[in-house]
């Protein structure tokens, strides 16, 4: 009887020792297999360090434990466990390391390691629309769908700036989250966003001052100025919410509420004014705030910028879905699709009493553009990002090249328009002096393409020249972006 008890005790001890060893093996495997959240793309190709789930912008939480201390503690634990492991344990670890990529795909989906191709593609389309509607060449011969709408309505030229603003604001949450991963403080992120906004605003003013050095009547606002204000204020607003450690879903709700309330206020306030360039709310505000600095009408004025900022809040709300590391990429695109359809429905309901108007950034126009942007992103996301192929890369490449540095292209176009194209050249056909772009169209291209297609030929040639320059920079991996 005594010998049986001894044997039973030995068996129990062995079972306990085996369980302890199995627990050690499980801990070792868990420490060596890291399910890294890589759904968020590495912006501009930077190697972003592995994030901590509790890493927020608050500086107080950053003071508790430094990244170096965490890494050292992890290394010490691994060394202690490795001394106790046996050969069988090592084989289990090796198997776990080999199966790691497959496990990542199951948990987090196909990780994207670069900027979204869909966003850059839409940016490229927006840049092309902005260039075509920027007022170069012979304005009277510009095709109607490429030029701005005369007042109410939507054309391809009207979509340029709103699509670009939507793309820029759509990526703000991703930029901020990546700054948080790099352990940047709240102050550092805010300073960076303010610096970008000021630089863009100053560049826009300097471009407007070229050829008209009159500080009493020069145009204060412009396309670069509107981008600067919307980007800077939108980024600071998102960083402020992120400062309070709100989840991405909560931030999306707050941003949606701000955007909808702002556009609703603009909608009801504009009802008391007329529907012409001289009687609308935008002209009334601009003439009061910037007297002497607007002409017949300021397209990029104060009210238009406020409306664009409200639209930027809605775009940031949609873009915040991309930062949820626990949701599959396809589920993210589905949420963005639903949000876009919601915007489209609201825009259709508002259109009767508030027509689409790009000149004043009417609430219905902002909502229809944002809704279309979200629907287009969700539709193209699977083709150009999740299921990339040689054909999709070939199709997207020209637009991606133009959208890789969108603000640089727009600034370059504005600079050429206000300097080179303002050179006065004598026209033999007209018998008078013309601006250089008009002279090229009338005296040069009309002999080759005729009077009907000469303006389209000028736009194609001009876009090709800019494309060649951007293709060279793209091949050299030179990207001039928001930093």
**202 pLDDT above the threshold of 80:** yes
Q: Cα dihedral angle (23, 24, 30, 31), rounded to 10 degrees?
A: 160
User: Same domain, yes or no, for 146 and 242?
Assistant: yes
Measured from the Cβ of residue 419, the count of other Cβ atoms closer than 10 Å reads 13
Q: Which tokens belong to 191? A: 């300073």
Tell me what the mean pLDDT of segment 4-31 comes to: 60
Higher per-residue confidence, 388 vs 281: 281
pLDDT of 91: 40
Looking at mean pLDDT, say which of 25-34, 102-111, 298-307 comes out highest.
Answer: 298-307
Q: Which tokens hold the place of 201?
A: 């605003």
pLDDT band for 13, please (50, 70, 90 cuts): low
Is pLDDT larger for residue 227 or for residue 54? 227
Say if residue 283 is in the same domain as residue 372.
yes
**Alpha helical stretches, state H, 110-222:** 117-132, 160-170, 172-181, 186-209
Does a structural domain hold residue 255? yes
Q: In sequence order, what are the beta bridge partners of 153?
A: 357
- Which residue did the predictor score with more confidence, 196 or 28? 196
Q: What is the mean pLDDT of residues 394-406?
A: 89
- Does residue 161 lie within any of the structural domains? yes
Look up the domain containing 65 and give its range. 2-108
Average pLDDT over residues 150-157: 87
Continuous H helices in 33-116: 59-64, 67-84, 87-98, 100-108
Q: Which residue has the higher pLDDT, 303 or 97?
A: 303
Examine the domain organization and report whether 104 and 129 are in the same domain.
no
Q: How far is CA 222 from the centre of its chain?
A: 20
Is there a single domain that holds both residue 402 and residue 439?
yes
Band (277; pLDDT cuts 50, 70, 90): confident
Note whether 341 and 434 are same-domain residues: yes
Q: Is the pLDDT of residue 68 over 60?
A: no
pLDDT at res. 28: 53
Q: Quick one: which of 164, 239, 162, 179 has its CA closest to 44?
A: 179
The confidence score (pLDDT) of residue 450 equals: 81
User: CA angle at residue 91 from 90 to 95, to 5 degrees?
Assistant: 115
Do 89 and 129 fall within a single domain?
A: no
- Average of per-residue pLDDT across 201-205: 89
Please check whether residues 166 and 291 belong to one and the same domain: yes
Is residue 343 domain-resident? Answer: yes
- Asked whether residue 31 carries a pLDDT value surpassing 70, the answer given is no
Are 326 and 418 in a shared domain?
A: yes
Let me know whether 86 and 178 are in one domain.
no
For residue 452, is it within any domain? yes
Report residue 69 as tokens: 């201390």
Domain count, the chain: 2
Please give the C-alpha separations between residue 340 and each of 39, 117, 172, 319, 379, in angstroms, as whole numbers. Answer: 21, 19, 18, 11, 11
The pLDDT value recorded for residue 146 is: 84
Sign of the torsion angle spanned by Cα atoms 143, 147, 151, 154: positive
Say how many C-beta atoms besides its own lie within 10 A of residue 329's C-beta.
18
Among 82, 108, 134, the domain-final residue is 108
249 shares a domain with 284:
yes
- Domain match, 136 and 73 both: no
Query: Which pLDDT value is given to residue 122?
Result: 93
State the helix-helix crossing angle for 329-350 and 302-319, rounded to 10 degrees: 150
Do 218 and 291 fall within a single domain?
yes
């Amino acid at each position: 009887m005594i010998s049986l008890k001894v044997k039973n005790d030995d068996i129990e001890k062995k079972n306990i020792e085996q369980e302890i060893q199995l627990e050690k093996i499980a801990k070792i495997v868990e420490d060596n297999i890291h399910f890294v959240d890589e759904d968020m793309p590495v912006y501009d190709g930077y190697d972003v360090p592995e994030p901590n789930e509790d890493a927020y912008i608050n500086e107080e939480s950053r003071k508790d434990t430094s990244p170096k201390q965490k890494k050292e503690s992890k290394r010490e634990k691994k060394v202690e466990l490795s001394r106790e492991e046996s050969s069988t344990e090592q084989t289990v670890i090796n198997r776990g390391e080999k199966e790691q990529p497959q496990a990542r795909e199951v948990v987090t989906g196909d990780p994207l390691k670069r900027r979204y191709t869909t966003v850059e593609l839409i940016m490229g389309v927006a840049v092309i629309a902005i260039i075509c509607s920027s007022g170069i060449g012979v304005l009277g011969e510009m095709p109607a769908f490429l030029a701005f709408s005369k007042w109410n309505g939507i054309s391809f030229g009207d979509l340029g700036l709103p699509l670009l603003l939507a793309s820029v604001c759509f990526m703000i949450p991703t930029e901020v989250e990546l700054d948080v991963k790099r352990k940047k403080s709240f102050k550092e992120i805010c300073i960076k966003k303010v610096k970008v906004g000021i630089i863009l605003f100053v560049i826009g003013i300097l471009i407007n001052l070229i050829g008209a050095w009159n500080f009493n009547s020069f145009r204060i606002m412009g396309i670069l100025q509107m981008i600067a204000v919307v980007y800077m204020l939108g980024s600071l607003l998102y960083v402020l919410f992120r400062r309070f450690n709100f989840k991405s879903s909560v931030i999306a709700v707050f941003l949606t509420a701000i955007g909808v309330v702002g556009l609703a206020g603009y909608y009801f306030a504009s009802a008391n004014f007329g529907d012409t360039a001289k009687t609308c709310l935008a002209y009334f505000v601009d003439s009061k705030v910037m007297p002497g600095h607007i002409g017949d009408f300021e397209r990029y004025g104060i009210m238009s910028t406020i409306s664009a900022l409200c639209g930027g809040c809605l775009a940031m709300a949609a873009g915040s879905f991309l930062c949820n590391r626990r949701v599959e990429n396809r589920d993210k695109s589905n949420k963005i699709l639903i949000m876009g359809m919601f915007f489209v429905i609201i825009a259709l309901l508002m259109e009767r009493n508030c027509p689409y108007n790009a000149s004043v950034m009417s609430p219905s126009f902002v909502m229809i553009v944002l809704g279309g942007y979200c629907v287009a992103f969700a539709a193209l996301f699977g083709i150009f990002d999740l299921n990339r192929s040689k054909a999709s890369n070939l199709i997207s490449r020209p637009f991606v090249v133009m959208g890789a540095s969108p603000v640089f292209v727009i600034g370059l176009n504005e600079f050429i328009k206000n300097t080179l194209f303002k050179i006065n050249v004598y026209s033999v056909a007209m018998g008078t002096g013309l601006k250089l772009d008009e002279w090229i169209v009338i005296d040069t291209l009309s002999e080759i393409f005729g009077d009907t297609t000469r303006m389209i030929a000028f736009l194609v040639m001009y876009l090709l020249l800019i494309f060649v320059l951007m293709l060279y920079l793209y091949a050299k991996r030179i990207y001039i972006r928001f930093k």
